[in-house]
Amino acid sequence: MRRRGADLIIGGELVLSGYVMSDEAAGWAWEEEIFFCPAMVREALLVMGEGRITVRLNSGGGDPVAGEAIRTALQGHPGGCRVIVEGQASSAASLLLMGAAQREMTAGSFIMLHNPSGYAYGGAEDHRAQADFLDMLARVYAQVYADRSGQSIEAVLAIMNAETFYSASAAIEAGFADAVADGTDANAAPPSFDDALRARMQRDMTAYAAMMRDKSPGRGTAAPRNPAAPGGVPAPVAATMEHVMPDPTNPTAPVQTPAPTQIQTPPSPAPDPQAAIMAERNRVTMIQSMARPFVEAGRLTDADVTALINDGTAADMAGSRFMATMAQREPAPGPMRVTERGRDETETRRLGMEGALVARLTRAEPADVSRQYMDFSIVEMAAERLSQRRVPGHFAGREETLRMAFHSTSDFPALLENAMNRSLAARYAQAQPTYRRIARQRTYVDFRDHTTVRVGDFPDLQPVSPEAGELKAGSFSESKEKTKVLAYGVQVLLSRQLLVNDSLDGIMQVLNDRGNAVARFEDRTFYTMMLGGSNADGPTLLETTRQVFNTTDGTKAGTAAAINIASLSLARAALRKRKSLDGAELELTAAILLCGPDKETEAQQILAPIQAQQAGNVNPFSGVMSPVITAKITGNAWYVFASVDEAPCFEWGLLEGYAAPRFRMEDPFGVQGTKFSLEHDFGCGAIDFRGGYKNAGA
């Protein structure tokens, strides 16, 4: 029965175990064989959809051309692939590992890189052509390893030529993996790569190559050679590329190939009892080595290991069996408990990088914990949070590092979002819109209407009876005016070029623009409210059913006049005579003169501190009031206000817990960049008429 791609999907994950076969070889594979091929992987990816998927890999390798096809399929998956090596990823399997967006290894796993090997039938020219082809193929695959590891091609070729094994920690250090898989002990002892392991792998891969030769239909004694294309090398058309590992005990021994005249499948050799004994010993050793870190961690028992040995489980299947056993024993999650703890090294590094970004974006002095990261680029910070040792030098590699940081479980997205919000808050705090000079700030606890307690609403003190010492109850007049906060927002895009090229000046400009834009938005929103209504006399109050500025309440001059001593005197007197809701004198002091650009010069002249030569020429308003100028007021109108601490006519505020606008990441790093929403909760409104006075101006 032919295996399909859906057979590789177990528990919602893609499980790649066994030989890496070409699509052709898979077509005539035996039913009992454990393998996967490019067609099966592509079919499984289609079934699993375009989201991010997890791939569990345990393979000794196989056909490197098929491995490259699978690597390309994994790399091109829209949602990205997280590949976890469980057991081994050797030879062609280590090549396909390079296609993962996130490359992880369990603590007891390993990977192996070596040169591609093959065989050829025919004469000397055929073998020379095959050697040239293998050299070319080695450089092609070395380029793949180099791009993902950050090493040079020459360094990778040396690694492949030496047939190098890597434990999880060594692979991360070399750049061939990104992290130790969650739930495994990063400090566990790495597997031992002794001669027995190498010999076993050499026998397995050589046997695999022989099996492919024996089963391949229609292969002749020698393959015809095609002429080389420009820039290429001649190669046998029918040359197979299954890996055949050299014998480590005799590196110079030539690879045995069938005689040119051999067409029939040779008879199976007689069983070798000694070889069977050695194979069984190697199987037991592999299973015990794989289980050792989990036994020491208490997640497996000696009985679990013995059971797998006794039932004949193959070594390359033991990892999956062990993981299933440990998963069944995981306790159900209980209620979350919050315990106090100190700051660990990982959190300290994150805060240090976050502080360095803030310092660079705001041009502020960094804290001591951030100084070491002041020269880090955004990509370097992302790589550090992924535990990558090297950052690629080309744009594509740096972009891939950022994409992995945004889509993995690292805290880099939170780091960037927090740094941007802290920098935005600093820019927002520097802005000083004029409305804050004439309106009182408050905090809104939610989005409902909020009432306001005003100056003079508190009951007067009452005399205490000397006999009983009893305090009398006073009345409390409640305000009817209500204001509330509203939610606002807009989308902001940081392009991939901006992030990959570490253009902090560009990001800084975005923060400056947004910080100033929010302040301007608040200013515009406030004055739209204050100057609304008939004749721009402000909103209507519930208490009086009249606008804030009107002649009935004495908050608007009956006759329009320029800003001079006489008109200002009338305004100041009107404030002095104001009474509270309960009829008590407020004795308000004129503190602010508000006008538009057309009256700015008059305001400055009337408030200028000039020493008069005669007592009759003294300016009584010199140094008494502060001028506030805003372009939101057009024409000749001008206003006088008491201090907002005494008697505010208006109030403004933000939602509780927020002191500034904030960025919220919506879409992680994608084709166009990273999309943020700029959110802000702001409210303002009129609460009283007593602290203000308007003159239409002349």
- β-partners of residue 19 are 35, 61
Q: What distance in Å separates the CA atoms of residue 39 and residue 43, rounded to the nearest whole number?
A: 6
**Tokens of residue 101, six digits:** 């967006």
d(CA 634, CA 541): 24
Do the beta carbons of residue 190 and residue 170 sit within 8 Å?
A: yes
- Catalytic site residues? 91, 114
Contacts of 492 by beta carbon, 8 Å cutoff, 6+ apart: 510, 514, 663, 675, 676, 677, 678
Secondary structure letter of residue 225 according to DSSP:
B
Contact 280, 196 (CB under 8 A): no
| Residue 231: burial class (beta carbons within 10 Å; 0-12, 13-18, 19+) | exposed
Sequential DSSP letters for 636-677: T-EEEEE-TTT--SEEEEEETT-SS-EEEEEE-S-SSEEEEE
For the four alpha carbons of 375, 379, 383 and 388, in that order, the dihedral sign comes to: negative
Nearest to 68 by CA among 192, 230, 233, 241: 241
Angle, alpha carbons 54-56-57 (nearest 5°): 135
Distance between CA atoms of residues 306 and 300, nearest Å = 11
- b/e for 618-632, b at 16 or more Cβ within 10 A? ebebeeebebbbbeb
Rounded Cα distance, 572 and 352, in Å: 54
